[in-house]
A = this chain, B = another copy of it.
Amino acid sequence: MPVLSHTALSELMCSMFVKAGAPPDEARVVSDHLIESSLMGHDSHGVWRAPGYAKGMRRGVSPASNYEIVKETPATRVIDAKGGLGIVAAYRAMEGAVEKARTRTFGAVGVHRCGHCGRIGAFPVIAAREGMLGLCFLNGGARFTAPFGGTSRRLPPNPLAVAFPRRAGDPVVLDITTSVVAGGKIQVKQARGEKLPEGWMIDAEGKGVDDPERFMKDAAVLPLGGFQFGHKGFGLGLVIEALAGGLTWAGCSSEKPTRGASGFLAMAIHIQDFIPLTDFEQEIERLVEWVKSSDRLPGVSEILMPGEIEQRAREQRLREGIYVDDRTWKEMGETARELGVETPG
């Protein structure tokens, strides 16, 4: 169970991706993205993904330059990524949305036919750093979430991520799935041989399932809100289908989605066209103070804003290094050897 510096790990991943066939600049973007996720404590979207990404690249990478704009207006763009790397496509989409919002208040760029988009919380923060609200929506991945009242696997986890600036401190960054949990959280339990807590998965009769091995088989994940309030998570998941599946041309979840579904939509809103940015940031700061002044549940030492726990993990791991579990490290080593890349340590 090695603990490695983020620089060593990043170099290793970048070398692996280049050897696997990714253009060097894209390999760098993806390895930096994965390292940031691991630094922030989101191991399920970090280094753990590297062997899988490298294997995918070996099967062939469509360079990012290969994309096609299928629709464009002053405030919108829809891109066919033609199988290009999702993380690269998502950064480009967010940057495009920010550029459009600069002159049109709102900007939105949709992408279809791209690979795995990584940790979507990484993208809206680009808008927040430019004095904008950033919003990202994704309808991709395995369709393992049950509709409210149902027991079958129907919707992907359908995450959304939103970021906005505050006066003091890093932007607020919310990054959540509309299912109770992301698939990665279940896979982490699986890797550790742990049972699932109550309220995560159900079987065809609606009974709780605590065995993570059944995740990709016969069990369905509940929508956010569970048995009592799951109409809310289900409804939010459908809204994300409309935004990320409908608007991007990717297609909504269905028996056989139009373009494979898995669409990504990045949106930016220029705050200054509503209110001076400093006034907005001041309001957020007052909000932060107000919620942090709340009394706390036993055992809770502080009320955290979305994104704060990640910032703290990042500071710690920058100092202390990133812990990579044995299983992932073994897989990294095997994949690196196959690619002829030397592993550190």
| Nearest CB in chain B: distance from A188 CB, A | 16
Interface status of A142 (Cβ within 8 A of chain B): no
B133:A287 contact, CB within 8 angstroms = no
A75:B106 contact, CB within 8 angstroms = yes
Partner of A106, one of B105, B290, B294: B105
Of the four ranges (under 10, 10 to 19, 20 to 34, 35 or more), the interface on chain A belongs to 35 or more
B174:A239 contact, CB within 8 angstroms = yes
Copies in the complex: 2
Would you give the 0/1 interface string for A152-167, flagging 1 where the beta carbon is closer than 8 Å to chain B? 1011000000101000
Complex Cα gap A297–B230 (Å)? 13
Complex Cα gap A105–B107 (Å)? 9
Contacts A275-B71, A283-B258, A306-B231; A291 near B147 (Cβ below 8 A): yes
Contacts A150-B297, A232-B176; A238 near B75 (Cβ below 8 A): no
Interface status of A293 (Cβ within 8 A of chain B): yes
Partner of A224, one of B229, B238, B252: B229
Interface status of A110 (Cβ within 8 A of chain B): yes
Taking beta carbons and an 8 Å cutoff, which residues of A are in contact with B?
71, 73-76, 78, 104-106, 108, 110, 133, 146-152, 154-155, 162, 164, 172, 174, 176, 180-181, 197, 199, 204-206, 224-225, 228-229, 231-236, 238-239, 241-243, 245-249, 251-255, 257-258, 269, 271, 273-275, 279-280, 283-284, 286-287, 289-291, 293-298, 300, 302-306
Q: List 22 A-B contacts (CB under 8 A).
A: A71-B273, A71-B275, A75-B75, A105-B108, A106-B106, A108-B269, A146-B294, A147-B303, A150-B295, A151-B294, A151-B296, A152-B293, A152-B295, A180-B228, A199-B228, A235-B306, A238-B305, A247-B274, A248-B275, A252-B284, A255-B286, A258-B286
